[in-house]
Amino acid sequence: MRKYRGYEFKKAVALAIHKICADLGRPPVHIQWGGTQSASITNRGYLCLNNVKDDAVLTQADLMRYVGYGVHELLHWTYTDFSSTEMGWSHSQYVAQLHNALEDAWIEHNGIKQSLTGNITELLTALINGVVAEALTEVSDWSDPAQYPFVLAVYARKHATIKVPLAEGLQPIFAKAVERLNNANNSRDTLDIAIWVYKQLAQLQPPQPPVNPEPPVEPPTNPTNPTDEDGEDGTGDPVDGAIEGDQEGDAPTPPTNPAKRPVKPNGEPVEARKVEPEAKPPEGSESGGSFFTADIKRDKYHVSNSSRNFPIPF
């Protein structure tokens, strides 16, 4: 597998992103390395990616992941109505994350459907699968309402081949949301779906305790044939129904935890997990510096504040 030094890596990522811009029929973006914990883009075409050290060693898989981040943000630039995302935040943080989840899936489906780049499905599948793989190691309770927007973001992506657990009660809500998403025409439509999903989640009924539960059955005080720890009676013979040794068989599947409302018992809203893919470089390769690719190409950029008689020409 090919290896890249950090400075080579950033050049390769920038070249790929500018090529994709051309494929999308968009003007070149301004790439900023650093100053962000996740990939992002403004409506003016300023694309931010997490910076890497110039001497870091990265792989082809890292390159593919970063280009995937770039493609995802370019699809936002192409399809997303940025004013609608602000409207999502005006409802609540939770609605905003639900909207982001649906918007992410919608723009990626559009890009794949229109084959905007030759390997766009591969890039976006690798991107979401990597995000899901990390989440599966980090999240222990998928019935926590804070996880639902992220679960929806994965569920709504048809090209995601790794899925996350779905709490009981979410599937019919998410399935209807995806059905509506297939007919969405713009970001206002995806926001309407997000608001609808939130209303459905708010109506979920919390699990109720059983009514008049049966009293527990007390074991007999003097059983006729008490068994010892080996499952044998006083004769040394196995008792009917006792398990001898290790027998093969599938363990019963634990029931799925029921979905809960995205509101705490005291009425406070739940803070939703972020759903946007985060452009995190491999451990040890991240750099704290920040610069715009376009800036360092400007004539005399590095000596813009120096004397006119600076002796070395640039």
Q: How many CB atoms lie within 10 A of CB 31?
A: 21
Residue 104 in domain: yes
**Sequential pLDDT tens for the chain (314 residues):** 789 999 999 999 999 999 888 888 888 899 988 866 667 888 888 898 888 899 999 999 899 889 998 999 999 999 999 887 777 777 889 999 999 999 999 999 999 998 877 789 999 999 999 999 999 999 999 999 999 999 999 999 999 999 999 999 999 999 999 999 999 999 999 999 999 999 999 998 765 555 565 565 666 565 555 444 454 454 555 444 444 444 444 444 444 689 999 988 777 889 998 888 766 667 766 666 555 555 434 333 222 333 333 232 32
- For every residue of the chain, DSSP letters joined together read --EEEHHHHHHHHHHHHHHHHHHHT-PPPEEEESS-SS-EE-TT-EEEE--B-TT-EEEHHHHHHHHHHHHHHHHHHHH--HHHHHHHHHH-HHHHHHHHHHHHHHHHHHHHHTT-STTHHHHHHHHHHHHHHHHHHH-S-TTSGGGHHHHHHHHT-TT--S-----BT-HHHHHHHHHHHTT--SHHHHHHHHHHHHHHHHTPPPPPPPSSPPPPPPPPSS-SS---TTSB-TTSPBPTTPPPS----PPPPPPPPBP--SB-TTSPBPPPPP-SPP-PPPTT-B----EEHHHHTSTTGGGTTS-TT-SS--
When divided into structural domains, the chain yields a total of 1
pLDDT value at position 91?
A: 85
Q: Which candidate, 271, 218, 296, 281, places its Cα nearest to that of 52?
A: 281
Residue 119 in domain: yes
Residue numbers of the domain that contains 287? 3-205+263-303
Prediction pTM value: 0.74
pLDDT value at position 194?
A: 97
pLDDT value at position 56?
A: 92
The Cα–Cα gap between 47 and 17 comes to: 10
pLDDT value at position 178?
A: 98
Residue 249 in domain: no
Residue 253 in domain: no
Residues 6 or more apart whose CB falls under 8 angstroms from that of 18 comprise 28, 29
pLDDT value at position 20?
A: 87
Residues 6 or more apart whose CB falls under 8 angstroms from that of 1 comprise 59, 60, 61
Residue 31 in domain: yes
Query: Per-residue b/e over 146-157, b at no fewer than 16 CB within 10 Å?
Result: bbbbbbbbbbbb
Residue 230 in domain: no
251-281 confidence digits (pLDDT tens): 444 446 899 999 887 778 899 988 887 666 6
Residue 125 in domain: yes
Residue 241 in domain: no
pLDDT value at position 22?
A: 87
The Cα–Cα gap between 10 and 18 comes to: 12
